[in-house]
Amino acid sequence: MSIVEEEGADGQEAHKNHDIYFVPGLRRGLLLLETVADARRPLSVSEIAKRLKLTRSTVFRLTYTLRFMGFLEEVADSKSFTLGPRVLNIGYAFLASKDIIEVSRADLEILRDNTNVSAHLAIRDRKELLYLSCVQTRSGFLSNLNVGTRLPAYATPMGWLLLSDLSNRELNALFGEDEFEPMTDQTPANLAALMVKVSEAAVKGYMVSRGAVEPGGSSIAAPILDRDGKVVAAIDISGPDTAFDLTQIETRDVQEVVSAALRISARLGYTPNRGS
């Protein structure tokens, strides 16, 4: 039985010798890890086999190998598996390699101090928003969006900004016929609705949201640009409505977030109107 078909990361085209270079067994193992991670709960061999459309014997060999190497852990007395500590080692090494985390830290702290709301940094990992940094507020309204948290990019203002460099064709290739599970009543219902949100984000250059991610919550997000003007990350301040001075959210707070994003972008080499 064949494994689920999947295109290359970020639409990467296959090499002309793809069939020779590509290692199916390695692909199965990595997709298995992604499947366990996405489930956010322990999965049995049967459940993994069903999700990946593989035989139980194939999944058994994969789980044995990954468990032996420390990438999976077996949950006691349940014959099910969760991610192991070796996966975390890779994840933290990836995060540590991202210069943007260190570059943005001081400005996120300034942003937090000037608005009294928790500040975050995130990147896009294909269809998801991945949080790389969280600077907690000192006011007591602590953020639950910690480092490593993932949210669907289609459902979040930060995600719309991170998708704003993509054309409609690229958005279609990324999301295709996906069904968009709603987080709130503001979640785009389909690809066409998502394209509207992404276009709005591209035009405005920032997003203010009230209840987009969860009822009673607000956020202001802005993109981080590299030296070529490409969106490489996004920052926001977000929390419950009670954490904000709502009389300042569309004025002072927007300016603080946009200014912080521009300062971080400048450190990455971005110059407004470069080449014009």
Q: Which element (helix H / strand E) includes 151?
A: strand 150-152
Inter-residue contact 112 to 237 (CB < 8 Å): yes
DSSP 39-103: HTS-EEHHHHHHHHT--HHHHHHHHHHHHHHTSEEEETTTTEEEE-HHHHHHHHHHHHH-HHHHH
Q: Who contacts 79 (Cβ-Cβ below 8 Å, separation ≥6)? A: 44, 45
For CA atoms 27, 31, 33, 34, give the dihedral sign. Answer: positive
- Indicate whether 142 pLDDT > 80: no
Dihedral angle computed from the Cα positions of residues 47, 49, 52 and 54, in that order, rounded to the nearest 10 degrees: -170
Q: What is the pLDDT of residues 34-85, one digit of tens each?
A: 999 888 899 999 999 999 999 999 999 999 999 999 999 999 878 899 998 8
The whole-model pTM stands at 0.65
What per-residue confidence (pLDDT) applies to 274? 53
CATH topology of domain 98-267: Beta-Lactamase (3.30.450)
Q: Which two tokens stand for residue 233?
A: 């990350």
Inter-residue contact 171 to 163 (CB < 8 Å): yes
- Domain map of the chain by residue range? 9-89, 98-267
Q: What is the pLDDT of residues 255-265, one digit of tens each?
A: 999 999 999 99
CATH of region 9-89: 1.10.10.10
In what side-by-side order are the strands of the sheet with 43-44? 43-44, 80-83, 72-75
For CA atoms 125, 12, 70, 95, give the dihedral sign. Answer: negative
- Indicate whether 207 pLDDT > 90: yes
Nearest CA among 148, 107, 140, 138 for reference residue 236: 107
What per-residue confidence (pLDDT) applies to 275? 41
DSSP state of 268: T
Q: What is the pLDDT of residues 210-243, one digit of tens each?
A: 888 888 888 999 999 988 889 999 999 998 888 8
Domains 9-89 and 98-267 agree in fold: no
What per-residue confidence (pLDDT) applies to 103? 86
